[in-house]
Amino acid sequence: MPSTKEPDCAGAILEAFAARDTVLTDTPVIQPAAPFLDMTGEALRRRIFMTESETGESLCLRPEFTIPVCRHHIAENAGTPQRYAYCGMVFRQARDDGAAEFFQAGIEDLGAVDFAAADARAIADAASILVECLPDTEFAVTLGDQSIFEAVVGALGLPGGWQKRLIQAFGNHARLSALMETLARPQPVAGLDRRVAAYLADGDEAGLVGHIAATMDATGYSTNASRSPDEIARRLKEKLALSVTSLDADALSALRAFLALEVPLSEARDALGAFAEKFELDIAGAIAVFARRIEALEATGTDIAAITYRAAFGRPLDYYTGLVFEIAEKGPRAALLAGGGRYDRLLTLLGAEGHIPAVGFSLWLDRIERAGETP
């Protein structure tokens, strides 16, 4: 059984948070499940501890802090910019090291308008706090950027549905590889009713909608509890379009070359520029935003040559939109100690009235404790 005692490093981390102009906040352990099921990645969704209220509402034990902190900010109608800090227990089905409940701490930076500076501050703060806790430990910092990947996918000219699929798979190597294989060798949709197939082949959307509606009426399939005939027809058309889409050899080569990029962050801008020039892709705007972050990070005194930029690197949470990063302990244990990124759409999806840009990071306190022990 893992210990529920607050780790010894918690006090030092809370002091570090206070020194960084944060507001310490807490959120209930019991949370509504819907936001986590809708907005976190599959890797986390399948590990959530679910329960139910007396009224039938789906609830869960808090599996992470970012969504609860953002919901708290919205509920308080708080102004921005605002930096929240937190420290408390999270609960997930058996982690790779066997723990199902453990302490997590972090900072959520909401509403900062200088994105490059806020991103740089998140990376620098996470790294410096780890150095304060573990002064004799060496760290490996890995950085990726979903917005660069999105720019590459967009420049390849894929249909919107395919772009969405690839972007959702960013950071999941196996899933992304499978999707690229499908793009290389598209397969026709199998198992379609012949009448549905005929309507799709003829482009007769009205006839397809009418056929679906008649079938739903005949079978008693209530539209109140399912998708409407129009929505089903749209999804069938999209599925057919996706099934016949393919990328030519040059475009697939470009996508694979991008995903293979791995260089020191100090060389990343030039590497991305050379990639874009080689494959004639217009991603200059995304590279410029990326470069401003590098400059802001260098201005914090961070050694950018010691950070690895990996183009295929993502973190397994669906709400990230740009920067993603992780910090691990170097050595045989290679424990992941911190991770974070930018999530500019999350607060709007959670109900915020206006757009609130955001970036943050989390620290795993139990792993930090073990990293400080002699191997």
Residue 64 assigned to a binding site: yes
Q: Which two tokens stand for residue 94?
A: 């058996």
- Helix, strand, or coil (residue 63): coil
Using CA atoms, how far apart are residues 176 and 146, in angstroms rounded to an integer? Answer: 13
Residue 104 assigned to a binding site: yes
Sheet containing 50-52: give its strands across: 30-32, 58-61, 50-52
Using CA atoms, how far apart are residues 300 and 291, in angstroms rounded to an integer? Answer: 15
- Helix, strand, or coil (residue 332): coil
Residue 181 assigned to a binding site: no
Residue 315 assigned to a binding site: yes
Q: Count other Cβ atoms within 10 Å, centred on residue 256.
A: 13
Residue 65 assigned to a binding site: yes
Residue 66 assigned to a binding site: yes
| CA distances to 45, 53, 138, 324, 327 from 315, in Å | 14, 31, 22, 7, 12
Residue with tokens 């082949």: 201
- Show Cβ contacts of residue 292 under 8 Å, excluding neighbours closer than 6 positions: 116
Residue 165 assigned to a binding site: no
> Using an 8 Å Cβ cutoff, are 81 and 112 in contact?
yes
> DSSP character for 306?
G
- Show Cβ contacts of residue 32 under 8 Å, excluding neighbours closer than 6 positions: 57, 58, 59, 60
- Helix, strand, or coil (residue 137): coil
> Using an 8 Å Cβ cutoff, are 126 and 338 in contact?
yes
Residue 84 assigned to a binding site: no
> Which residues on adjacent β-strands are paired with residue 139?
329
Annotated binding site: 64-66, 92, 104, 108, 315, 319-320
Annotated binding site for L-histidine: 64-66, 92, 104, 108, 315, 319-320
